Amino acid sequence: MADTHSVIGTKNKKGQTFTDTWKMMNEAPRTPSFYTGSEVIKEALRRASCDVMIAYPITPQSEAAALIGELFAEGYIGDYFRGESEFAVMSQCAGAAFGGARVFTTTAGPGTMRAMENFPMWSGARLPIQMIVTCRGINSPLSIQPDTLEIAYLLNTGMLVWHAETAQDFFDWILKGYMVSEEPDVHLPLALCCDGFFVTHTKDVVNLTPADMCLPPYDPYRSPVPCMDMECPPVRMMRDPFVMKSNYISYATHASWQQEVWAAVERSRKHTIKWINGLIETENTDAEVLIVSSGTAVSQGREAIRLLEDEGIRCGLVKIKSLRPWPGEEIREATKNAKHIIVPEFNVTGWLAKEIKATIPNSDRVNAGPRVCGGMTMPPEIIVSEIKNLLGMRTMSLAGRGS
């Protein structure tokens, strides 16, 4: 039966056509454009049919957040304002999502940490907010440099967490991310992470979808929990608030809801695989040496692989795109032939290596590094050197490595 309520094919007030997302992302013509990562975020938002965006300045996301303000001034966003802190902004985002809006925000580093109390609440309240995280250092003394430590803190919030490598990933995943987040059997927030500066402040060629096409609007009545707009009956939720009770029913209720949030993360798997073409991407996984990583560390890995090829060393690659849901099966399959698994990371603790070790058999194959942090770059040469060391080959000593 034809859906008479569909808005597909109709125009919004800016003259953009609401377009079936699958067609828009996979079949519509693409225009190569030379943009910074921040500008790419703006271009994605132009096409996202976003109702409310809430901004707050923190490097390195300030430019993107301000550019979306320009979109609001042009009439592409329903409402937009600057909040007073990240904690407040994430609560304002929650309020807007409770009220049935498609919501977008951006943050980074200390902002992510300040707002942290909100994230499990977002998941628990099943709010499909999208938050861009342009990772930066959270250490003291103050740093504004790229560093991915904050992602480790997001992994247990019940949010979906994706890690973009390039601006192209970013453009596509912002739009596709809403499609996964807003599925009725998922309905969870998405933290779409990238490495600050490396992605936000560099220019790259990005293939954009047509500017006169946009996502269908969010339908809050597909949510698994009622939208707080008094458009459905306000039933009494419970006879006794569970917070007051110390009894089995109270515990069981809280436990089952937490389990349901994580079950929703699991259910997002099939949608994520469909939309971003698998949770991981692989190259040459029959090689004995495998680089497994996420974010821009993957790009550095690609360079290292090229350098190693010149010397006749064959090395494969696994790019992890989604951290939540975690691609455990995929990683086990992709690493089954590997004797050495190299995990380059832009953080001091090596949270990704720990996740991988907890996933695969014979985890002593995992080499948790090289790691850089505090804004240090990761020259491909240090990955090459790490691999050669593992293979028992002579390497040039690198300054600062103490080798």
| Interface positions with another protein (CB under 8 A) | 51-52, 54, 78-79, 81, 83-85, 87-89, 91-101, 103, 117-118, 121, 125, 226, 228-241, 243-244
The pair of structure tokens assigned to 227 is: 């939208």
Question: Residue 254 CB, nearest distance to another protein (Å)?
Answer: 14
25 vs 103, beta carbon nearer another protein: 103
Shortest distance, position 89 Cβ to another protein, whole Å: 8
Residue 126 CB, nearest approach to another protein (Å):
12
Cβ nearer to another protein, comparing 70 with 231: 231
Q: Give residues with Cβ within 8 angstroms of 346, minimum separation 6.
A: 135, 146, 147, 148, 195, 295, 296, 297, 371, 372, 373, 378
Place of tokens 């190569």: 32
Measured from the CB atom, the residue of 121 and 307 that comes closer to another protein is 121
Smallest distance from another protein to CB 13, Å: 11
Q: Which residues contact 307 (CB under 8 A, 6 or more apart)?
A: 380, 381, 384
- The rounded Cα 300 to chain-centroid distance in angstroms is 19
Token pair 């491909």: residue: 380
Q: How far is the CB of 151 from another protein (least distance, A)?
A: 22
User: Of 1 and 243, which has the nearer Cβ to another protein?
Assistant: 243
384-391: long-range pairs with CB below 8 Å, 24+: 384/304, 384/307, 384/308, 386/342, 386/344, 387/289, 387/304, 387/308, 387/313, 387/315, 387/340, 387/342, 388/313, 390/289, 390/340, 390/342, 391/289, 391/313, 391/340
**Contact at 8 Å (CB) between 352 and 343?**
yes
Rounded least distance, CB 154 to another protein, Å: 17
Closer of 70 and 117 to another protein (Cβ): 117
Nearer to another protein, 111 or 344 (CB): 111
